[in-house]
Every structure is written in C-alpha cells, then in structure tokens.
Structure 1
Amino acid sequence: MAAALFDLKGRRALVTGSSQGIGLALARGLAEAGAAVVLNGRDPARLEAARAGLAATGLAAETAPFDVSDAAAAEAALEGIEARLGPVDILVNNAGITRRMPALEVPETTWHEVLRTNLDGVFFMAQAAGRRMVARGHGKIINIASVQSDLARPGTAPYATSKGGVRMLTRALCAEWAPRGVQVNAIAPGYFATELTRPLVEDTDFTAWLRRRTPAGRWGRVEELVGACVFLAAPASDFVNGQMLYVDGGLTAAV
C-alpha cells in the first residue's frame, strides 16, 4: 500500500533544464520511480548525452530541445510531446540561470535575461501544461524555487527576485487549479554542488561560511532532492497543494 503511493508507473514527466545538474538528477529519480521521462534543454547535443547516460544505466528517456522562455515554443513542445507520447502528467519546472553581480551593476539585459528564464519560463511552461491538465482533471506541477525565494545575499538581486516570483506563482496557480484536480507545489533547494554553483563551491571562504551557516554543515548533493520530487509527483501528495518544500540542510530553520 505504502509503495503504491510513490509508484509513477504509467505517468509521463517532462523535466525542464535536465541536461545536467539538479534537473538531470530529478529526471533520473522520476524514471527510477517508474515514470516515462522527457528531458528538456536548449542544446540538443547535451540533451542527447544526458539521454545516453540514462540509457547506459537502463533508464529510457525522450528528449525535447526548446527554450522555455519562448511561450510559443513551450506550447508547441507540449503539443508535440503529447501527440507523440501521450499526456504529460508531471511537469518539473527546473530550467534556470543566475548572474551574480552587485545590484548597482546589473544591466537591463541581464535583469531581463534572468527573469525571462527563471520566472517567465516557469509561467509559460505551467500555462502550456496546465491548460491540458485542467482539461483532464489531474496533473502535477513542481516548480524548482530556492531558499532565495525567502532569503537574499549581496549580488543576487535578479535571481532572488525571480525565485520569489516562483513562490508566489506556485500559490497563485494552486488557488486557480486545485479545484480542477491539479497540484502545484515547489521545492526550495538550499546550496547544492552543481555546475551552476561551481564558482561558489571552489570559493573556500564561501564554502566555510556555508558550512557554518547550514546546520547540516555541508553542501547538498543533487540526489538528496529526488525524494521530495518523487513525493510531489506521486499520489502520496494528492492533498498537498500550493506548498514549498525546503530541502536545505536546515538553513532556513536556524539563525
């Protein structure tokens, strides 16, 4: 009985930004739980390498290269995926970028670049998948937020603003779509060692600060996000909606 609550067999999942890092780890976890997974990114070659890596471990995946920040591309991608593979039951909005610099030095182009990928892209994907899920009366949308949805550090103004927006978008979509059988939740990772955070991982002063600041005393490993994702994608979370699940080693729980 308990195992069935986390069984994703027969479900189809689209994970954006899944050619590497957190997205690829989540896609792998969903596939291991039984879901048919579609990988997304902007670079077809990197996506194919990710697909081949999964295949080498016995996990099948499809690929769908497109830019989530392009609303027309998002809509066309959902239409094509569903025509080819069947309904998308699970959407994981993971694609994101960061540009670290003092707020006084952020050019307009950089501001819009970060917001367009991290917030506009989440909305465009949720809208494209959501209209289909609402029509069917069921679906799971998991937005990847951040501890910086609530907390900020110097040099993170565009990123923190975008992730704060993801938190409120999650709540707004819950308010609209929960009555139609769609669950919209978010995961808020703390500091995880990924390609995106490599400059910080390699910064000995920052890593020392992080170990002091985080009760767990270390960087997170991307595999430690999989359980939260499978839970929010599975029947186990059918009455969980509009929530943000922190996976941060206790960072937001302690001063």
Structure 2
Amino acid sequence: MRILITGGTSGLGLAMARALVEDGHRIVITGRAAERAADVAATLPGEVHGIGMDARDSTSVRAGRDSTIDLLGGLDVLVNNAGIGMRTVNPRFMVERQPFWQVPEAGFRDVVDTNLTGYFLVASAVVPDLLASPGGRIINVSVNYATMTRAGFVPYGPSRAGSEALSRVMAADLADTSVRVNILLPGGGTATGMTEGVVADGAHLLSADVMAEPVRWLCSPAAADTHDQRIVATEFQDWLANADSRRS
C-alpha cells in the first residue's frame, strides 16, 4: 500500500508509521517543518519519505498532496492524524481547568483549524487519488467520547467531536465507491507530546504503540470491506472477534 500519514513525526502518527513500514508499505509522513519530517523519516527502515505540510493551509495541503503522488506514484491510504492538543491553549489543562469563555479566540481557531478543518482539507485533496486506487481507504484518528465533552476541554473536545461527525459524513458520501472510511482511536490517554509535562506522575497512559495492531489490520486485505466503523485500539481484539462472528 501507498500510505500518507499526516502528523507522522511523533506520537501516534510515528507509532503507526513504524508499524506500517514493518509490513512493507510505502509511506509519506508529514509535519509542519519539512526538515524535521525528513529527519524523522530517515530514522525509519524501508521506504519512508518526510515532507512539510500544514494541514490548516489549503495551499500547503495541495503541495503536500502533489509531493506525495510524485514520491509514491499514487495513493491508497490516508491516515488523517495531524492534530494539536489542549496544552496549546492551557499548558496546565489537566490540573487547572480553563472554562470555555476564557479560551483565547486565536487558540480556539488554531485547534479547530488543525483537528477538524485539516482533516477536511487533506481528505478533500486526496480523495480523487484514493478513488483511482483499487481499494482506497481513509483512517481518521479520534479520541474517546468522554474527552469530547469533558469540562475544561474547549476547544480540543469539540474539534474531535467535529472530526468524528465529518468521518461519518465522509463514509456516507463514499459508501457507493471503492473507498472505505473508518475511525481509529487509542482508547485512553496516550504518552505523547500532547500529555507530556501536564499529566501527574504515575498516571496511567497508553503507549502510542497501541495503535500498531489495528492500523496494520485496517491497511491489510482483511479490512477491504470494513466501512464506517469506530475502532478503539484497546478493544481491537474484541471488536475483531465480534466482526468475524457477524460475518460468519
């Protein structure tokens, strides 16, 4: 598979890139800083390219799409993962809640532009390429429902709720095509840059590697008919067993 992973230089994106390159997929990872993306890509085995792309900016997204097609010769899978968290508007968000009316407008817009508008812009740019693939796929990374409505989690919670709604609409719009759309989320707080320094010592955080097994499966032939599903990584084996029993 030829795979584009946005926000692939760290955290969940990097963990998914590591897992997928081990399966022999050809990958492009993006980051806002092109040099950092290239440096991170160089640390991974196999064919991994790192390019600069700002998911908030349509011109940057179109250029990133063009670079991806030039590098891979086409595209089969988009993993929409690029995002920013609560610490950008409240560095102490886990211990000092900031009510929504105190959130700076610029911070609100930046999070929504990245986490919601970014998913729309990137998917919109590459859907024609995915439709040209024998089996195109979109995997939109999300979070737990509780995070979407948690006190003090504006704008992060609403931005992720919006991206889930967008994912469901994408799935509906693409239902009669060859492109499959699914949602993937860790199933709890993860030890990434979004939580570093703001979560109490000893708090239980999932490893970013929790995403490895389900994303590998979603990029495999076994998932060719899986569409409009919400897959929680910590519950993946149970979900898979139930899906298998429904098909049998």
Q: TM-score, normalised by structure 2?
A: 0.84
**What percentage of residue pairs aligned between the two structures are identical?**
32
Secondary structure of 1:224's counterpart equals: helix
Residues 1-255 of structure 1: pairs in structure 2 closer than 5 A = 11-54=1-44, 58-99=45-86, 100=90, 101-136=98-133, 138-148=135-145, 151-189=148-186, 190-201=188-199, 203-204=200-201, 207=203, 218-248=204-234
1:149, 1:167 within 8 Å by CA — same for their partners in 2? Answer: no
1:136, CA displacement in angstroms?
4.2
Consecutive unaligned residues in structure 2, runs of 5 or more: 91-97, 237-248
- Distance (Å, rounded) in 1 between the aligned partners of 2:177 and 2:134: 5
How far the C-alpha of 1:59 sits from its partner, in A, is 2.9
CA–CA distance in structure 2, aligned partners of residues 149 and 242 of structure 1: 20
Inter-partner Cα distance in structure 2 for 1:84 and 1:237? 25
CA shift at 1:154, angstroms? Answer: 2.1
Number of aligned residue pairs:
225
Structure with greater helix percent: 1
Q: Deviations over 1:121-168 (max 9, x none)?
A: 001111111122224453011111111476432221211101111111
* Partners of 2:82 and 2:115 within 8 A in 1: yes
Residue type at the aligned position of 1:245: I
Counterpart AA for 2:193? E
CA distance in 2, matches of 1:197, 1:80: 31
CA distance in 2, matches of 1:52, 1:63: 8
Q: Distance between the aligned counterparts of 2:172 and 2:147, measured in 1? A: 20
> Could you list the per-position Cα deviations for residues 80-119 of structure 1 after superposition, in whole angstroms to 9, with x for gaps in the alignment?
3213321111111110001343212112111110000000
Q: How far does residue 178 in structure 1 lie from its aligned partner after superposition?
A: 2.3
Matched to 1:119, the amino acid is L
Q: Closer, same or farther in 2 for the Cα pair 1:149/1:80, shift >3 Å?
A: farther
Structure 1 match to 2:239: none
Deviates more, 1:115-124 or 1:68-77: 68-77
Runs of 5+ in structure 1 lacking a partner? 1-10, 208-217, 251-255
Root-mean-square deviation (Å): 2.0
Q: Could you give the per-residue CA deviations for residues 167-196 of structure 1, whole angstroms, max 9, x where no partner exists?
A: 111111111112111011111222111121
Deviation at 1:248, TM superposition (A): 4.5
